[in-house]
Amino acid sequence: MGISRRSFLDYATRLPAAFAIAASSGAVPRFSEAGGFLHAGHYRAGVASAQRCLLLNFSCVLDESFEGYRTSLQAAGLPFEITRRESSEAASFIVVPAAALTELCHAGWLRNRIAAGATALVESAGAFLSASEFRLQNSLVSSRLGVSALAPVRLWENAGRLSNIPYVDFTWPAAATIRDFSRVVPLSGVAAQPIATQGTRVVGLKRRLGAGMLVYLGSPVGPHLLTGDHEAQRWFENLCLEANRGQIEANKSL
């Protein structure tokens, strides 16, 4: 789905009232009781709690990826909460940048949230983990989220070759060409649909889990959000819209 920035902003302003109220509240960020960090856009459970967005720091190994998503969510005016641990509150959109998903409770929590109707963007930090951490993450992600990863590939080992094309091609939710981040994690998944490829490798996919949707990336997008890559920003904006659309559909089916 392609959408212009103008359309996105227009759409965002028509999100449920709680979004707008929260986004315009101008509240000073503060720590939440759950150990998280509340942002201007945070709002308490209410009429629109289904549209709640969580930015999760599950042992994020690339700070700039986390910052990229944070600034993009902020720029889009979407209310979100930053937290380091599982939240007990409902969330329609969950973003997990550069995650070292090596704890069973995290993976299980994510699965339950997605199954309940959330859209989760999980960015694998697999390429930046030790071999043992990568094996553990792969095992958890495979068993809980149905996504398998091959060993990370260093794309620039033969730097200087004319054949090096430093881009990942995304096809969903918007077509986008985004720089690689030196290493990619090839992916496969049960009943999964590829959404991003680097050459012949699938490095991004989506799959339905219960009432929700998992979007799993083997090539980080967050750092490119931080550098102002327009295609990366457009891709993420479209994903935000998809998450909202998915939640509306999930609500209808309840």
Phi, psi of 231 (to 5 degrees): -65, -40
For 155, 157, 182, the CA distances from 161, given in Å and listed in that order, are 11, 10, 14
Phi, psi of 194 (to 5 degrees): -65, 140
Binds other proteins (CB under 8 A): choice among 80, 181, 235, 236: 181
Burial group, residue 211, by CB count within 10 angstroms (0-12, 13-18, 19+): middle
Question: Smallest distance, Å, CB 170 to other proteins?
Answer: 18
Interface map 92-131 toward other proteins (x if CB under 8 A): ------------------------------------x---
* Range 215-234, binding other proteins (CB under 8 A): 223, 226-229
Question: Smallest distance, Å, CB 183 to other proteins?
Answer: 9
Binding status of residue 166 toward other proteins by CB under 8 A? yes
Q: CA-to-CA distance for 197 and 246, rounded, in angstroms?
A: 24
CA 58 from centre of chain: 12
Binds other proteins (CB under 8 A): choice among 26, 33, 160, 254: 160
Stretch that binds other proteins, among 20-28, 102-110, 159-167, 230-238 (CB under 8 A): 159-167
Binds other proteins (CB under 8 A): choice among 85, 135, 179, 245: 179
Task: Give the Cα-Cα-Cα angle 88, 89, 91 (nearest 5 degrees).
Answer: 125
Instruction: Pick the closest to residue 1 from 177, 243, 250, 239 (CA basis).
Output: 239
Closest CB to other proteins among 88 and 163?
Answer: 163
Residue 170 CB partners (closer than 8 Å, separation 6+): 176, 177, 178, 195, 196, 204, 235
Stretch that binds other proteins, among 59-67, 69-77, 86-94, 187-195 (CB under 8 A): 59-67
Write out the residues near other proteins by the rule CB under 8 A: 61-64, 128, 155-156, 159-160, 164, 166, 179, 181-182, 223, 226-229
